Structure 1
Amino acid sequence: MDNIHIAHDGKDHIATIRDDPPLLDPTKTD
């Protein structure tokens, strides 16, 4: 459940269990 693309702050990124900012989650690469 880590390959779900959702709209966040106007950009799409991979959401994990909770909606954390990409800056705090190294697994989210833009």
Structure 2
Amino acid sequence: MRKASRLFEIIQILRLARQPVTAAMIAGQLE
């Protein structure tokens, strides 16, 4: 996965999350 698309994924996760998102949660989503 390219860095740009990964960054976009992280942004999407942060925008959609209702509760504060931890780094561990982001890592779990990307795997």
Q: TM-score, normalised by structure 2?
A: 0.22
Q: Which has the larger radius of gyration?
A: 2
Structure ranking higher in helix proportion? 2
Q: More relative contact order in 1 or in 2 (CA 8 Å, sep 6+)? A: 2
